[in-house]
């Protein structure tokens, strides 16, 4: 099997990484955000065309107010500070998820980042923010009146996003946690032991090699 073109990642383990080092949880998220940026550049080098990362789920609102407010502030800072750089590197940014309930100023920054990078074609970066796989299916079903899977797909948050060839989850956990339920129906799954802030390029390449060693049948033989 050749290398995957479309990769999704559950960037798990930021909090545990920070706690193991006696650091505030937000420092784990900051380290994790740095790793997203680094692996994004690796993805370009490795021929990946679309990268989807799980940054904040619909269930994450249940975390402490301190952690959630810290994450919201960090997301805003990162979008504002890194979008021009990603734009120069040819990355197209898209945010998928519910925008209701998200602070208006953060939504404005997300929309600004999407508009600024809309013409880029080197790599598409989909950021799952306030995202839940079941929520996406429910939201799509509200407007669906057709009869085919392809028609249903047009109502998903990003119908132009390809189904991931490969889904990677870090931190040793072995579940998909309500992530891209529709899109990952036939994705290959790789569960890496590293906490996300420790997920370096060699770990990324090992996951891609694992994918390449498999045979995808899609229900056939």
Terminal Cα distance for the chain, rounded: 15
**Residue 204 contacts residue 48 (beta carbons within 8 Å):** no
Residue 64 phi/psi, 5-degree rounding, is -60, 150
Instruction: Please list the residues that pair with 54 across neighbouring strands.
Output: 10, 128
Confirm whether 12 is a catalytic residue.
Answer: yes
Judge whether 197 and 19 are in contact, CB under 8 Å.
Answer: no
Strand partners, 166: 7, 188
The catalytically annotated residue of 42, 60, 87, 178 is 60
Closest alpha carbon to 53 in 7, 17, 116, 122:
7
Q: Do the bridges between strand 166-169 and strand 188-191 make them parallel or antiparallel, or are there none, so unpaired?
A: parallel
CA distances from 33 to 29, 70, 181 (A): 6, 13, 24
User: Among residues 209, 205, 207, 204, which one has the least CA distance to residue 36?
Assistant: 204
Q: Is 60 a catalytic residue?
A: yes
| Cβ partners under 8 Å of residue 199, min gap 6 | 11, 35, 39, 170, 192
Enumerate the H helices of 95-132 as residue ranges: 104-116
Of the candidates 12, 14, 130, 165, the residue annotated as catalytic is 12
Active site residues: 12, 60
């Amino acid at each position: 099997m050749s290398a995957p073109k479309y990769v999704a990642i559950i960037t798990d383990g930021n909090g545990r990484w920070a706690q193991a080092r006696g650091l505030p949880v937000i420092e784990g998220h900051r380290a994790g955000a740095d790793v997203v940026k680094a692996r994004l550049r690796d993805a370009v080098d490795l021929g990946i065309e679309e990268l989807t990362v799980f940054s904040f789920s619909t269930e994450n609102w249940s975390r402490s107010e301190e952690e959630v407010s810290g994450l919201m502030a960090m997301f805003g800072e990162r979008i504002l500070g890194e979008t021009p750089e990603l734009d120069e590197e040819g990355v197209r940014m898209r945010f998928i998820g519910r925008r209701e309930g998200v602070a208006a100023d953060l939504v404005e920054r997300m929309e600004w980042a999407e508009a600024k990078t809309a013409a880029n074609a080197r790599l598409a970066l989909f950021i799952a923010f306030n995202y839940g796989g079941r929520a996406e299916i429910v939201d799509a079903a509200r407007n669906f009146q057709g009869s085919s899977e392809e028609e249903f797909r047009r109502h998903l948050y990003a119908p132009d996003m390809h189904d991931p060839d490969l889904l990677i989850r870090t931190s040793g956990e072995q579940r998909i946690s309500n992530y891209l339920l529709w899109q990952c129906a036939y994705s290959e799954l790789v569960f890496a032991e590293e906490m996300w802030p420790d997920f370096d390029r060699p770990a990324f390449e090992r996951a891609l090699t694992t994918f390449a060693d498999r045979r995808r049948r899609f229900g056939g033989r």
